[in-house]
């Protein structure tokens, strides 16, 4: 993906998050590249299936539990044999090569529609968006849900709290409705309904992720109200979620608001901890 894309921003994101994914931290590349572009995710799934098929046929297994990623190959050492260690290396090679070849082939279809600056060719005019619920100022993100703001470092997930995906904050929600935090375009709408990406008209790219590890709920309790490519106005409903369903599934319902292109701005000021209402300014940026 990093080699084939003509968008320099996507190229940089793909290269950096691809490396962290090899170490077992996959959410950055999933939300930053694979889901927005789609075809790299398809290639990764097919490649992973082929590698997994080999590992299954050779009865390859671990001798201890632990994280995923390349360092986990050491967990296949045991019983005074290198058989499973060698087999998992072969499986990884099969996965990497097949996924890369498939992504390369698919890129000739899906990357040619992009201009060198990364913008897509003009599309048909979208339907008229809903009227705004609150007035917005440039370079500003408004709260997409009622609740209590917590600092990014307090978000109960290392992928978000470490700042790998960008800069932002969390909101412990008081309601089950997410609204648009500014005027913009939907650039990602998760099939599972738990996350949405939105780009503002002045260059802010925001990920709104409802709950921690809620992708495991496979869409139960979530209803997406928008689709990728939709033009939305501030205050327009993006998705709804069932807080009780999230609690029953054993997940925190923290809403993560992450500015994924924070490096494009000189300053990113986030609101302090405390109660906040939807439509209240929570992030202000400056070039």
- Residues acting as catalytic residues: 209
- The DSSP secondary structure of 167-235, one letter per residue, reads EEEEEEESSSEEE-SSSEEEEEE-TTSSEEEEEETTS-EEEEEESSSGGGGTTTTEEE---TT-EE-TT
- Whole-Å CA distances, 227 to 31, 190, 217, 223: 16, 9, 20, 11
Rounded to an integer, what distance in angstroms lies between the CA atom of residue 103 and that of residue 217?
A: 28
Q: What is the dihedral of CA 120, 122, 126, 130, to 10 degrees?
A: 60
Rounded to an integer, what distance in angstroms lies between the CA atom of residue 239 and that of residue 223?
A: 6
Reported as type and span, the H/E element at residue 10 is: helix 8-22
- Whole-Å CA distances, 165 to 244, 259, 281: 27, 8, 21
Residues 6+ apart with CB under 8 A from 37: 1, 5, 10, 110
Strand partners, 281: 142
Decide if 286 contacts 142 (C-beta within 8 A): no
């Amino acid at each position: 993906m990093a080699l084939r894309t003509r968008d320099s921003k996507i190229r940089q994101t793909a290269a950096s998050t691809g490396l962290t994914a090899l170490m077992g931290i996959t959410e950055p590349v999933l939300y930053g590249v694979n889901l927005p572009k789609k075809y790299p995710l398809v290639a990764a799934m097919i490649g992973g299936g082929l590698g997994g098929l080999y590992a299954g046929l050779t009865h390859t297994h671990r001798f201890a539990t632990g994280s995923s990623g390349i360092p986990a190959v050491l967990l296949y050492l045991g019983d005074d044999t290198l058989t499973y260690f060698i087999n998992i290396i072969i499986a990884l090679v099969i996965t990497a090569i097949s996924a890369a070849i498939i992504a390369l082939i698919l890129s000739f279809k899906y990357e040619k529609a992009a201009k060198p600056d990364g913008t897509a060719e003009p599309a048909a005019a979208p339907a008229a968006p809903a009227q705004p619920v609150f007035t917005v100022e440039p370079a500003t993100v408004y709260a997409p849900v009622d609740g209590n703001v917590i600092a990014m470092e307090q978000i109960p997930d290392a992928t978000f709290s470490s700042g790998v995906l960008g800069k932002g904050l969390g909101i412990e929600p008081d309601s089950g409705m997410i609204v648009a935090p500014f005027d913009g375009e939907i650039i990602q709408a998760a099939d599972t309904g738990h996350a949405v990406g939105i780009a503002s008209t002045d260059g802010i790219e925001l990920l709104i992720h409802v709950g921690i590890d809620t992708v495991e709920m496979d869409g139960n309790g979530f209803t997406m109200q928008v689709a990728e490519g939709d033009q939305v106005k501030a205050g327009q409903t993006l998705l709804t979620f069932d807080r009780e369903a999230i609690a029953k599934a054993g997940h925190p319902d923290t809403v993560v608001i992450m500015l994924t292109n924070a490096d494009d701005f000189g300053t990113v000021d986030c609101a302090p901890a405390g109660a906040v209402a939807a439509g209240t300014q929570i992030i202000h940026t400056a070039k």
